[in-house]
Amino acid sequence: MLSRPSPFFLSGCPVSRSLPLTHILLATAITAVWGTNFVVMRIGLNHFPPLLFAALRFVFVFLPAAFFLKRPKVPILQLVAYGLLVGAGQFGILYFAISGHITPGLASLIVQTQVFFTIGLAILIEGDKVKAAQWLALVLAVAGIVVIGLHSERGTTLLGIVMVLAAAASWAGSNAVARRAGPVNHLAYVVWSALFSFPPLFLVSWIFEGWPTMSDAVMTASPAIWLTVLWQSVGNTLFGYTAWVWLLSRYQPATIAPMSLLVPVFGMSASSLLLGEPLPGWKVLAAGLVMGGLALNMLWPRFVRTDA
């Protein structure tokens, strides 16, 4: 789900422009996992309260992988900031939104606006300048969000839209923190940052969801429900992020990044097929506007370089 290259993948590998079929299939598999994961979230949330569900996700990101991976050599405050932004910020808010305030398909689409939050942070922190094409891309994406806001439906509220936008902003914040990590092992970075994700999530869950609800959910969870937790941890995080960064270390970012546009395609399709989420014309229009903005933002620099 990364739309920009992560700066903390292992460096030193040759970079190529073209993707062989096997790597195209790998990139497609990653985006399929990330997209359909929104349906898995919804299934897990039918049993677990959202903050507890998010906490359990990061427990299994950290364990048992931390026993086999050394802590990356970055300042501890970096891991703390990344863990809080990804854990309590991105997924804590996202799970809460999907638990009854927005449909999984729309959530998979709106959260991709993290691209524009990432650009905004780059402007504030690093002084980057916004290109005309990026302004147009932002206008298209905002138009898509407005279309969603004007068409309320069962399972989607204005609060849900705002929360997913907040989750996207937190994701962008974690990207800004990660960019300062340097060339470290990405998998180890994700695993050890999880140590600072689940404790605050457990604490907030205990305060707002209550110990009786937490303990009952854990004790009565079926094997199928525990599989949804493990899928969040192993499939979505450990496999997805590691394989994505492996591709980024071997190909130019402009070759890999556009593949992330498939995430909302898989997300909305899976939500429609498996959960019965309707796909009326306005939702298709909103998806086209948001994805059109994302595509313009990612592909325009590539066209400019080609013309040059």
Instruction: For 215-242, write each residue's pLDDT tens digit.
Output: 999 999 999 999 999 998 998 888 887 7
Q: Using CA atoms, how far apart are residues 292 and 86, in angstroms rounded to an integer?
A: 26
Name the percent of the chain lying above pLDDT 90.
35
Instruction: For 90-131, write each residue's pLDDT tens digit.
Output: 999 999 999 989 988 888 888 888 877 877 877 777 676 767
Across the chain, mean pLDDT equals: 82
Cβ–Cβ under 8 Å, residues 103 and 277: yes
> Which residues form the domain of 264?
21-307
User: Number of folded domains in the chain?
Assistant: 1
The reply to whether 227 falls in a domain is: yes
What lies within 8 Å, CB to CB, of 284 at 6+ separation is none
Q: Using CA atoms, how far apart are residues 183 and 221, in angstroms rounded to an integer?
A: 40
The reply to whether 37 falls in a domain is: yes
Across 5-19, 87-101, 294-308, the highest mean pLDDT is recorded for 87-101
The reply to whether 14 falls in a domain is: no
What pLDDT, on a 0 to 100 scale, did the predictor assign at position 301?
62
The reply to whether 69 falls in a domain is: yes
What pLDDT, on a 0 to 100 scale, did the predictor assign at position 3?
39
The reply to whether 268 falls in a domain is: yes
Point out which residues pair with 64 in neighbouring strands.
Answer: none
What pLDDT, on a 0 to 100 scale, did the predictor assign at position 4?
39
pTM value?
0.81
Cβ–Cβ under 8 Å, residues 248 and 256: yes
The reply to whether 64 falls in a domain is: yes
Higher pLDDT, 85 or 183: 85
Instruction: For 35-73, write each residue's pLDDT tens digit.
Output: 899 899 999 999 999 999 999 999 999 999 999 999 998
Residue 32 to residues 130, 192, 271, Cα–Cα distance (Å): 31, 26, 12
The reply to whether 11 falls in a domain is: no
What pLDDT, on a 0 to 100 scale, did the predictor assign at position 207?
96
What pLDDT, on a 0 to 100 scale, did the predictor assign at position 287?
82
The reply to whether 204 falls in a domain is: yes
Name the percent of the chain lying above pLDDT 70.
84
